[in-house]
Amino acid sequence: MAPSAVSTELVAAPQAKLVVHGSKQEEAREKTPLEAMSQGVPLPGIPLFSSHDKHRAWILEHMAGAFRVFAAKGLTEGMSGHISVRDPEHAHTFWTNPLAKHFATLKPSDMVLVDYDGKVVGGNTSRPANAAGFLIHSAVHKARPDVHAACHCHGKAGKAWSAFGKKLDMINQDVCYFYGDAQAVYNEHGGVVLSEAEGKRMAAALGPKGKGLILRNHGLLTVGDTVDEAAFLYTLMERSCEIQLMVDAAAANGLTKILIDDETAAYTFKMSSEPESLYWEFQPDLEYEGGVNTGVFES
């Protein structure tokens, strides 16, 4: 059974915002995107935990669930693909999947804990981590302390669109989640990532605000505050690549492609890109996966 998305731990309430009117202050609070999306009592925030051990167990359960979702969506290919999640206690280490184990079989106990030097320091020591994955993910985690999770796969649509070395167009509401600096392109493909310099260049291309990175001739990479956010953004970016290819094929046959204007795209991004909303975007897939596949969240 899937873990409850609603934690029994305390959840931080949104912060009130002070607005000044004339000579006196009136306390008012702007609705968060999650509140604005909820008709009635809003969904709770991202769970908080009373200990690192509880937080770590929750992370690993959701990480295993994310791999199962990726498998269900056809994002597996040989030994390629990896998710990394920063450890909640030791920020210079991150959890990742073992090399050559199918996404659909992964459990929390399968995950490997590695440090920034690539040394396995905990978790499953029976298999190595993916060397290319380590170089990519460690560079991203080092460059972006705000990034707690990163996802990379070799999905069909992502690989196809990556051949153009271009950003996705704002052609529908959902792709606006990647508006502006939230998406970037890495145009220096140098083959399989087996050097530290290549990983650093990828992290630099992602930039300080990037959520999704198109790796030319390679695939996609997404990041987030939680593994749930990063995983949802990956599935969204993969599907957005598929839709972009479909739209461009239709446009090549004479149909006019209409883009969303910048003001509308920026507003959509503002109302959809907050970590709590993106965390919840992934919960339906996660709960479904836990419901149809028993043992997903068991060590």
The 10s digit of each residue's pLDDT in 90-134 is 999 999 999 999 999 999 999 999 999 999 999 999 999 999 889
pTM metric for this prediction: 0.89
Which of 3.30.70.20, 3.40.225.10, 3.60.90.10, 3.40.50.10860 is the CATH number of 52-290? 3.40.225.10
Neighbours of 109 (CB within 10 A): 11
CA 167, CA 201: separation in Å to the nearest integer?
17
The per-residue pLDDT of the chain, averaged, comes to: 89
At 189, the pLDDT band (50, 70, 90 cuts) reads: confident
Structural domain boundaries in the chain? 52-290
CA distance 88 to 254: 52
Q: In whole angstroms, give the CA distance from residue 89 to residue 55.
A: 9
Mean pLDDT, residues 176-189: 96
Q: Which two tokens stand for residue 268?
A: 């959509």
Torsion-angle region of residue 264: left (phi > 0), alpha (psi -120 to 50) or beta? Answer: alpha
* Low-confidence winner among 37-41, 203-207, 234-238 (lowest mean pLDDT): 37-41
CA 124 to chain centre: 23
SS3 annotation, 235-287: HHHHHHHHHHHHHHHHHHCCCCCCCCCHHHHHHHHHCCCCHHHHHHHHHHHHH
Rounded average pLDDT over 155-176: 98
Count of C-beta atoms within a 10 Å radius of residue 126? 9
CA 202 to chain centre: 16
Residue 11 has pLDDT above 60, yes or no: no
Q: What is the rounded (10 degree) CA torsion for 62, 65, 67, 70?
A: -120
User: What is the Cα gyration radius of the chain?
Assistant: 20
Q: At what angle do helices 52-72 and 275-292 cross, to 10 degrees?
A: 70
Residue 7 confidence (pLDDT): 39
Q: What's residue 29's pLDDT? A: 59
| Higher pLDDT among residues 249 and 190, named by residue | 249
CA torsion, points 62, 68, 73, 75, in degrees to nearest 10?
Answer: 100
Stretch 167-191: mean pLDDT, rounded?
Answer: 94
